[in-house]
């Protein structure tokens, strides 16, 4: 289950990914240490997400398979959806500014939530632990 309070533990290739996303160095340095916390609450095919970081606090509701809008901390707007494949959440989001695709997955492995990202051939991971 994805339910619970998750706190960022470590990143893999996240700065490279953000660079590909066009985020400047100062923001990348800050974002690499954003103390991201995510609370996930799944009820059937609906999710309630609380996101807390050095940048902002927000709450998002989405339904699997239903397109919604999401803005990154730097204001970049995305539109897309999550679906469930087995035990994996798979997200496909398009940037509104250039139409390019950002894909992401979430999976729980052991006591960790692993979120993977791909944009224009660059992969990254953010790995969370329960708190």
Q: Contact residues for ligand MYR (CB under 6 A)?
A: 18, 21, 23, 49, 51, 60, 70, 72, 78, 91, 93, 102, 104, 117
CB of 23 to ligand MYR, least distance (A): 6
CB of 20 to ligand MYR, least distance (A): 9
CB nearer to ligand MYR: give 93 or 128. 93
In Å, how far from its chain's centre is CA 120? 16
CB nearer to ligand MYR: give 70 or 127. 70
CB nearer to ligand MYR: give 117 or 128. 117
CB of 48 to ligand MYR, least distance (A): 10
The closest alpha carbon to 80, from 100, 51, 58, belongs to 100
- Angle formed at CA 8 by CA 3 and CA 115, multiple of 5 degrees: 65
C-alpha–C-alpha distance, residues 79 and 70, integer Å: 6
Terminal-residue alpha carbon distance, the chain: 15
CB nearer to ligand MYR: give 8 or 78. 78
C-alpha–C-alpha distance, residues 51 and 32, integer Å: 16
């Amino acid at each position: 289950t994805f339910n619970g309070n998750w706190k960022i533990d470590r990143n893999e290739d996240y700065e490279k990914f953000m660079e590909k996303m066009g985020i400047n160095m100062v923001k990348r340095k800050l974002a690499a240490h954003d103390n991201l916390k995510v609370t996930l609450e799944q009820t059937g095919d609906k999710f309630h997400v609380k996101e807390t970081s050095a940048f902002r606090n927000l709450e998002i509701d989405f339904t699997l398979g239903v397109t919604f809008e999401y803005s990154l901390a730097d204001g970049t707007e995305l539109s897309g959806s999550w679906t469930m494949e087995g035990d994996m959440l798979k997200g496909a989001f398009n940037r509104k500014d250039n139409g390019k695709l950002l894909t992401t997955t979430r999976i729980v492995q052991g006591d960790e939530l692993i979120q993977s990202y791909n944009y224009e051939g660059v992969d990254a991971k953010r790995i969370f632990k329960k708190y």
